[in-house]
Chains A and B, each alone.
Chain A
């Protein structure tokens, strides 16, 4: 046996010696090792690639664990309006803490502290000071006098940390826009939360932004217009005894929100008020059956589909019967109406017939095109999802034609109307400043320019001759559409609870701004008078336009001249 092995060996060795290349060729292990090496090279390259990707990844999530640095209220940038007026700013305060481990006499310390803060729970404080903890807060954001008093007491084991405290000079004026922060100065609502979500909290994590200069964040709103809107809404709410009022002024060419308010609101300096259920931001976070203002969209849809021309007529002489439903008109004319008449007399029957001409699919597609299929995408975190019919039948199509059976936020209505009036371009609304050029990049065409021209004509017509007469402001060519919806009470539409709105724009020869005002459950001013949108929401809009147009840079035209755009007759 041994000999055989020797023979094998010699043979093998000789071969290796004599024709090494041939052996290499036959032996697969060299090739295989090379393959394995290539495999490893590729895998290490992938790992390097992944590391490089992570290196360029600056979207680092806000770090959950947050060290002590994050617990201390961190500095935030100022928020200003478009003209640089301060909406929110930081002021420095002191916060009192204790290190129970270093407290010599907890009884004495608790006693001394409660002499400065009589409202503090002394027993509880003593228990906390007796523990072996390294750090506890005693009271956050104390006044300068309190700080001096504690300092004079000279208690060992207590100290102060300077903290930034958020202050809102405007109080409730723009509360739903700016939002508010929690005790740790972290944004928890409105634009405050938005700037945190956009990376401010990362900055804090990284140890920056603890007091250095931060560029102020300029919002699109104009504080003067915001004040006018807030003031007029508050007055209207009182005058018409409504439970809530909300309004918005939107630039139709840039999508910038110039002012937005929803009353009742709260003072962001004492944000606990915001927790009361009626303080929600109805403009973006409430969904409602908007009623007749939705005929604006129905009419635009019909005209833009090409199946209805502005000179067409529809029979509104008798109520429309569909299975077990009857559709009636509120201001019934009981005759055949033209499209402009349907719009200005707000005919439900005519609108329903127009919707049927377009059809269910066309209507569904149109409302989605108008952005009503999803949340309104602004910077505000508080948004609501529209409620669309789960089964979109002919009945749905007819009720949606006059604003029932589908709930959207008022902001959806305002931004949709801006698109219908600015020449047909849908521009997402924003609370940040934006130029017309930037807006053009975001814009998508939703209706043709001709349709937009016709909508301007109809809006103006409704204020000159229709239900919106009380919205007229001489010189500003206001146009608009009223909406008086009945609210649902105990599962039925109620005849006494109304949801009124007025959707306006001005000046109609070249629309610049959309103004939408909504009054929830307004009462008649005096018994016997009506409480339709034309009698409360429309005059509120008129007051807002009258007072804010000068700030918005819209010059009045001499009364009596007709704007050129409206000389077109249809």
Chain B
């Protein structure tokens, strides 16, 4: 055990970090490795790879993911802001680059090849974007002379444009929803909440009528007989076959025919092999992480930290909710990974980066540290000493 008297960085971290939240995240990461054993071999076999190809890569990513998670949680709010700003700029450049040098997979350019690892800038940009927006909203309230809200809106527009160009509608929706939630939490007047909701509803109708593939998916959700619902029906069968206690590890059959069983439909695979009880447990862990994170960020005296942490947590929550709801046919099909559970190096590391920052921002910091941090930021003149 680390002594409280020890004032080293690590000791301070140990005594201030929200350990239950960290434990929840580690449980999810380990659960992801276990479920990878269930979900990914059929996909690897379909691709004529070694059965455990994806399991091995998942394990390979596990180490850097944990390091990123812990490393990010060591940052101070100032560092969080700076790292995010740098990350945002770099990732915007890379996003633009994907349009030109990106590897086209299934009709979309989302990845930049780095040897055997495909970097997906759209994953890494999310946490950075949320932190920077939180800062802008905070600045807007703090310093009326800087139009932070306007910058945040412009930033969203740039990001959405880049994501749609890939195209990647799943990330677009996630980013927009998270941004909206952040704006809401930043204290958007109710009249504007109503107006933006109206625009969002309008946007959905527009997408429904103007984009044929979006319209089709919504039609198929509303009326399952109107088209091919193969993935969703298969996913539901997976839950029914699994029952409460599941078929047992390795006994899943539905996963052999379920596309993306290691990413978008890992939840259904978990149900078939490990049972609905395990799925409920997963939902409870996700719920715990989100609610714990939000309530903990409430305790933060610093408004920026509060906003940024809750924004990061909300992004994580929305992503988990969309994935599970699609698996359970509660909403139209939309490809979205289940945070920390689904296979995907970029996704795992980016989420670890985001949640690590959330951990950093929710650390219990004494007011003195807070004021020191603020003082440094606001006025070199006021710096004590």
Which A residues are within 8 Å of any B CB, using their own CB?
A: 2-3, 5-6, 8-10, 12-13, 16, 27-30, 32-37, 40-41, 43-44, 46-48, 50-52, 54-55, 57-61, 63, 65, 67, 205-206
Question: How far does the alpha carbon of A13 sit from the alpha carbon of B241 in the complex, in Å?
Answer: 59
Residues of B127-159 whose CB lies within 8 A of A: 142-143
Q: Which residues of A contact B22 (CB under 8 A)?
A: none
In the complex, what's the smallest C-beta–C-beta distance from A68 to chain B, in angstroms?
10
Question: How far does the alpha carbon of A60 sit from the alpha carbon of B234 in the complex, in Å?
Answer: 11
Q: Which residues of A contact B321 (CB under 8 A)?
A: 40, 43-44, 47
Identify the stretch in B63-71, B86-94, B182-190 within 8 Å (CB) of chain A at 4 or more residues: B182-190
Residues of B267-316 whose CB lies within 8 A of A: 271, 276, 279-280, 283-284, 286-287, 290-291, 294-295, 297-298, 301, 303, 306-307, 310, 314
Q: Are B379 and A5 in contact (CB under 8 A)?
A: yes
In the complex, what's the smallest C-beta–C-beta distance from B367 to chain A, in angstroms?
8
Question: How far does the alpha carbon of A306 sit from the alpha carbon of B187 in the complex, in Å?
Answer: 75
Residues of B218-246 whose CB lies within 8 A of A: 236-237, 239-241, 243-244
Q: Are B375 and A9 in contact (CB under 8 A)?
A: yes
Q: Are B310 and A36 in contact (CB under 8 A)?
A: yes
Q: In the complex, which residue of chain A has the Cβ closest to the Cβ of B294?
A: A37
9 closest cross-chain pairs (CB), A and B? A60-B240, A6-B379, A28-B187, A44-B287, A9-B378, A37-B294, A55-B276, A32-B185, A54-B239
Q: Are A36 and B239 in contact (CB under 8 A)?
A: no
Question: How far does the alpha carbon of A50 sit from the alpha carbon of B324 in the complex, in Å?
Answer: 10
Question: How far does the alpha carbon of A57 sit from the alpha carbon of B181 in the complex, in Å?
Answer: 35
In the complex, what's the smallest C-beta–C-beta distance from A440 to chain B, in angstroms?
35
Residues of B241-256 whose CB lies within 8 A of A: 241, 243-244, 253-254, 256
Q: Which residues of A contact B374 (CB under 8 A)?
A: 9, 13
Interface residue count on the B side (C-beta < 8 Å)? 52
Q: In the complex, which residue of chain A has the Cβ closest to the Cβ of B288?
A: A44
Q: Which residues of B contact A48 (CB under 8 A)?
A: 280, 283-284
Q: Which residues of B contact A67 (CB under 8 A)?
A: 253
Question: How far does the alpha carbon of A40 sit from the alpha carbon of B315 in the complex, in Å?
Answer: 11
Interface class of chain A by DSSP: helix
Question: How far does the alpha carbon of A65 sit from the alpha carbon of B325 in the complex, in Å?
Answer: 25
Q: Are B241 and A63 in contact (CB under 8 A)?
A: yes
In the complex, what's the smallest C-beta–C-beta distance from A410 to chain B, in angstroms?
34
Q: 1/0 contact trace for B183-206 toward A, CB 8 Å? A: 011110000000000000000000
Q: Which residues of B contact A30 (CB under 8 A)?
A: 298, 306
In the complex, what's the smallest C-beta–C-beta distance from A397 to chain B, in angstroms?
38
Question: How far does the alpha carbon of A55 sit from the alpha carbon of B245 in the complex, in Å?
Answer: 9
Question: How far does the alpha carbon of A40 sit from the alpha carbon of B295 in the complex, in Å?
Answer: 12
Q: Which residues of B contact A205 (CB under 8 A)?
A: 241
**Residue contacts A-B, CB under 8 angstroms, 19 given:** A3-B381, A6-B378, A9-B378, A12-B142, A13-B371, A29-B185, A29-B306, A35-B184, A36-B181, A37-B295, A40-B287, A40-B321, A44-B284, A51-B328, A55-B243, A59-B240, A60-B240, A61-B237, A65-B253
Contacts A13-B374, A29-B303 given; does A51 touch B290 at CB 8 Å: no
Q: Which residues of A contact B185 (CB under 8 A)?
A: 29, 32-33, 36
Question: How far does the alpha carbon of A54 sit from the alpha carbon of B380 in the complex, in Å?
Answer: 60
Q: Apart from A29-B307, A43-B321, list 18 A-B contacts with CB within 8 A.
A: A3-B379, A6-B382, A13-B374, A29-B186, A29-B303, A30-B306, A34-B298, A35-B184, A36-B181, A40-B287, A44-B284, A44-B286, A47-B330, A48-B280, A50-B328, A55-B239, A65-B256, A65-B257
Q: Which of A50, A52, A59 has the most CB of B within 10 A?
A: A50
Q: Which residues of A contact B244 (CB under 8 A)?
A: 55
Question: How far does the alpha carbon of A28 sit from the alpha carbon of B183 in the complex, in Å?
Answer: 11
Question: How far does the alpha carbon of A9 sit from the alpha carbon of B303 in the complex, in Å?
Answer: 13
Q: Which residues of A contact B186 (CB under 8 A)?
A: 29, 32
Q: Are A8 and B298 in contact (CB under 8 A)?
A: no
Q: Are B237 and A51 in contact (CB under 8 A)?
A: no
Q: Are A44 and B283 in contact (CB under 8 A)?
A: yes
Q: Which residues of A contact B276 (CB under 8 A)?
A: 51-52, 54-55
In the complex, what's the smallest C-beta–C-beta distance from A90 to chain B, in angstroms?
25
Q: Are A51 and B283 in contact (CB under 8 A)?
A: yes
Question: How far does the alpha carbon of A35 sit from the alpha carbon of B181 in the complex, in Å?
Answer: 10
Contacts A9-B374, A51-B239 given; does A37 touch B253 at CB 8 Å: no
Question: How far does the alpha carbon of A59 sit from the alpha carbon of B236 in the complex, in Å?
Answer: 12
Q: Are A5 and B291 in contact (CB under 8 A)?
A: no
Question: How far does the alpha carbon of A55 sit from the alpha carbon of B277 in the complex, in Å?
Answer: 9
In this assembly, does B317 line the interface, its C-beta being within 8 Å of a C-beta of chain A? yes
The 8 Å CB contact of B303, one of A8, A27, A44, A47, is A27
Contacts A29-B186, A54-B240 given; does A36 touch B314 at CB 8 Å: yes
Q: Which residues of B contact A60 (CB under 8 A)?
A: 237, 240-241
Question: How far does the alpha carbon of A206 sit from the alpha carbon of B253 in the complex, in Å?
Answer: 11
Q: Which residues of B contact A9 (CB under 8 A)?
A: 374-375, 378-379, 382
The 8 Å CB contact of A61, one of B181, B240, B307, B382, is B240
Contacts A40-B317, A63-B237 given; does A27 touch B187 at CB 8 Å: yes
Question: How far does the alpha carbon of A324 sit from the alpha carbon of B256 in the complex, in Å?
Answer: 68
Question: How far does the alpha carbon of A206 sit from the alpha carbon of B248 in the complex, in Å?
Answer: 12
Q: Which residues of A contact B371 (CB under 8 A)?
A: 13
Q: Are B328 and A5 in contact (CB under 8 A)?
A: no
In the complex, what's the smallest C-beta–C-beta distance from B24 to chain A, in angstroms?
13
Q: Are A46 and B330 in contact (CB under 8 A)?
A: yes
Q: Are B294 and A51 in contact (CB under 8 A)?
A: no
Q: 1/0 contact trace for B100-121 toward A, CB 8 Å? A: 0000000000000000000000
Q: In the complex, which residue of chain B has the Cβ closest to the Cβ of A43?
A: B321
In the complex, what's the smallest C-beta–C-beta distance from A64 to chain B, in angstroms?
8
Q: In the complex, which residue of chain A has the Cβ closest to the Cβ of B367?
A: A17
Q: Which residues of B contact A2 (CB under 8 A)?
A: 379-381
Contacts A33-B306, A34-B298, A50-B330 given; does A41 touch B379 at CB 8 Å: no
In the complex, what's the smallest C-beta–C-beta distance from A344 to chain B, in angstroms?
52
In the complex, what's the smallest C-beta–C-beta distance from A119 to chain B, in angstroms?
36
Question: How far does the alpha carbon of A266 sit from the alpha carbon of B328 in the complex, in Å?
Answer: 46
The 8 Å CB contact of A8, one of B143, B237, B240, B295, is B143
Question: How far does the alpha carbon of A30 sit from the alpha carbon of B186 in the complex, in Å?
Answer: 9
The 8 Å CB contact of A40, one of B290, B375, B382, is B290
Question: How far does the alpha carbon of A114 sit from the alpha carbon of B236 in the complex, in Å?
Answer: 47
Q: Which residues of A contact B236 (CB under 8 A)?
A: 54
Contacts A48-B280, A55-B244 given; does A63 touch B317 at CB 8 Å: no
In the complex, what's the smallest C-beta–C-beta distance from B115 to chain A, in angstroms?
35
The 8 Å CB contact of A6, one of B181, B328, B381, is B381
Question: How far does the alpha carbon of A48 sit from the alpha carbon of B303 in the complex, in Å?
Answer: 33
